[in-house]
Amino acid sequence: HSMGVQVWLHFMAWVEHHEPGWIDKHIEGFVSIGGPILGAPAAVPRLLSGEIKDLIDLGLLGRLLDMYVPLSLRRMLMRSWGSVYQLLPRGGTKVW
């Protein structure tokens, strides 16, 4: 699952803080298959507007969701979920 990479990165930072050198001693390698290590661009519009483009593909279900869960409520929900912030794109001068 894509959030697994976020949990792994948090664990590595936590363990290195509490026990420096632990990763070098116990972890030989790490392979992420499709995990958003640098974030996911789709998180940005979800936080800014509550828009979820994936709903377009849901047809009737998407229209019902639009009818009963307006953008303002979706925006409020998205902003209350910490996992969405963890998926914001990140990097810096070394990456970009």
pTM above 0.95, yes or no: no
pLDDT for residue 84 is more than 70: yes
What is the per-residue pLDDT across 19-46, written as a single tens digit (0 to 9) for each?
A: 999 999 999 988 888 777 777 787 787 7
The C-alpha torsion from 83 through 73 and 59 to 56, rounded to 10°, is -60
Distance CA 84, CA 13 (A): 19
**3-class DSSP state of 63:** helix
Asked if residue 66 lies in contact with residue 55, where contact means CB atoms within 8 angstroms, the answer is yes
Residue type for position 94: K
